[in-house]
A and B are shown apart, each in its own frame.
Chain A
Amino acid sequence: MEEELKGMVEDLQVLKGSLATLEKRVQNVTSLAKTTPTRRSKVKDMSSEVIDSNPYSRLMALQRMGIVENYEQIRDFSVAIVGVGGVGSVAAEMLTRCGIGRLLLYDYDTVELANMNRLFFRPEQVGMTKTDAAVHTLSEINPDVVLESYTMNITTVKGFETFTESLQNKKFSTSKHGTGVDLVLSCVDNYEARMAVNQACNELGQTWMESGVSEDAVSGHIQLLVPGETACFACAPPLVVASGVDERTLKREGVCAASLPTTMGVVAGLLVQNTLKYLLGFGQVSPYLGYNSLKDFFPTMEMKPNPQCSNSACLNRQKEYILAKPARDASAKAKMEAEASSQTEGPLHLDNEWNISVVDDSEIEGSTSNKSDALPEGLVRELPISDNYENKMIPVETNAVTDDLDYLRKQLDALNAD
């Protein structure tokens, strides 16, 4: 009885809490909506007519100039943006202004005054969820874009489920690889969330782009990930752009992370440029592009999937990719010949030697060609791979008597009780 009552009281507290949060969100959104200036009405077709009232005239000009074959196609595309922070919010605004068909936004955080050193969010939005605030601003900028917001953490079991389900919702359109979105953009600021995006995209065979800004705010990168075809985020420890400053002199005491609107803006720009090229089929889509702001250095590279990747979904996509090779070769042959002149360097072999230390300053200036198993200049591995860590540690003994979950749980409870 007592236990049950206690549980009910706890449930009630939780419900009260979420009710209060919801009420606050309604209040915030309503008060902002009241102050909304007159909105332009939706546009049925994108016109290339050059008049002041046409929001798309300069974009449609890309078509006239022969850069893009069919710009209006952009209205058919769905892009999911995970993380609506310093990079994600700006990327969302860029795609909105470009007239993207549909945007899905994911974040669990709220707008804070501490975010005001970055672009996009405004002081009057403090306290709102980032997704609500973003939807409000973006729908004002371009009412033609279909916006969906998801306020949740994708690294939890429940959040991850909602995330993968939302990517598979085909009510707007069906992408060429069978999900409901054409591209996922990862704009999160931590390894855990990147690994969650990687997991979802590997499982769904969903092409995605990763972006990141270093914790010292002076370098960043973008990366294209096509499950099975390119390295996934777990195939090798993540790459980071060496800032060129001696890591040992970097003062990390007292703060976790710095941020600059400039670096974030540049990375968002690189990310959306790559997105437009990928979606609209113009120029060369970068597989990896780094940005070292201290030296204005932009390292590039390609990464093949690791046949020993620890992610089983990645291995399945790799198998599928190999099986589809003959068909792919046939259809690509003609195209390859036409593009033979604009070839980039062959892919690098990255199956070993992860523990490459910080590139020496003197080596950055040089233009030496890449050795087959070395990283390009200016790039380093952020984490080591799992190894046989030499330590005399005691392995967990397996004993049939003690190998029962309830028994173990009770044993810990007993220890916790006194």
Chain B
Amino acid sequence: MEGWDTTTKSTLTQIPLLTTKAGPRDGALWTQRLKEEYKALIAYTGMNKSNDNDWFRISAANPEGTRWTGKCWYVHNLLKYEFDLQFDIPVTYPATAPEIELPELDGKTHKMYRGGKICLTVHFKPLWAKNCPRFGIAHALCLGLAPWLAAEVPILVDSGMIKHKDDAATSAQ
């Protein structure tokens, strides 16, 4: 597993794997998959909390579980930066990973595709493809979003592209 730090790797191994290969157009099988997604997310969120590394909230935005919204945050220089987080489950899921979006950062960094989709490392898609259908939403967040935030938020803050909400409020007055 080239391309990830040891913490990410060890966290990943503790997220439960999924078994049902089904996408949002697969009816009852998708419901089965959705249950597995929840179990993996519950385990991952719980694990983060007990390790004092809570860093996101995510929940289904529709009953079908095809759209997910939430928040994610990253602490840099003791300040917490929080962003809206959203993605759709693609019709070809889980063969293709969800494309994670941080709409507030759209246009603020080169490490992003149009519409605020985060640019994953060259290692992400091969690993996802290799592990289909065992990886789910929780794995995508762990392998995709967490390292992205760790790499990009400090750059965005230091270059002045984003401001801490307290700073922003002060300067606006």
Interface of A with B (CB < 8 Å)?
Answer: 108-109, 112, 153, 155-157, 160, 190-192, 195-196, 198-199, 234, 237, 252, 254-257, 310-311, 383-387, 389, 391-397, 402-405, 408-409, 411-413, 415-416
Contacts and interface: CB of A to CB of B under 8 A. Distances in A.
Nearest to B97: A192
Contacts of A112: 114
Given A387-B130, A395-B16, A396-B18, A412 B96 contact: no
B132 A192 contact: no
Contacts of B41: 412
B14 A394 contact: yes
Given A157-B64, A393-B13, A412 B130 contact: no
Contact of B125 (A191, A389, A397): A191
A409 B45 CA distance: 13
B168 interface: no
A190 B122 CA distance: 13
A408 B39 contact: yes
A156 B66 contact: yes
A252 B113 CA distance: 14
Main SS class of interface, A:
loop
Q: Which 4 A-B pairs have the closest CB atoms?
A: A408-B38, A256-B119, A195-B92, A383-B129
A415 B92 contact: no
B34 A405 contact: yes
A71 to B, nearest CB: 38
B131 interface: yes
Contacts, number: 131
A256 B112 contact: yes
B138 to A, nearest CB: 11
A373 B37 CA distance: 37
Nearest to A384: B130
Contacts of B145: none
Interface in B77-119: 88-92, 95-97, 99, 110-115, 119
A386 B130 contact: yes
A254 B110 contact: yes
B40 interface: yes
A252 B114 CA distance: 18
B119 A396 contact: no
B49 interface: yes
A252 B25 CA distance: 35
B142 interface: no
Given A155-B92, A311-B95, 4 more contacts: A109-B115, A191-B125, A199-B91, A403-B35
Contact of B39 (A155, A198, A252, A396): A396
Given A191-B96, A192-B92, A391-B13, A412 B132 contact: no
A373 to B, nearest CB: 20
B96 A389 contact: no
A156 B91 contact: yes
15 contacts: A108-B115, A109-B114, A109-B115, A157-B25, A192-B92, A192-B96, A255-B110, A255-B111, A389-B131, A396-B19, A408-B35, A412-B59, A415-B46, A416-B45, A416-B57
A157 B64 CA distance: 10
Nearest to B36: A396
B126 interface: yes
Contacts of A195: 90, 92, 95-96
Contact of A384 (B36, B89, B129): B129
A405 B110 CA distance: 39
B40 A396 contact: yes
Nearest to B14: A394
Interface in B115-162: 115, 119, 122, 125-126, 129-134
A415 B45 contact: yes
Most buried by B among A112, A153, A254, A256: A256
B90 A394 contact: no
A405 B66 CA distance: 14
B125 to A, nearest CB: 6
Contacts of A153: 88
Nearest to A195: B92
B90 A156 contact: yes
A345 B130 CA distance: 31
Interface string B1-44: 00000000000111111110100110000010011101111100
A385 B88 CA distance: 24
B89 to A, nearest CB: 8
Contacts of A192: 90, 92, 96-97, 99
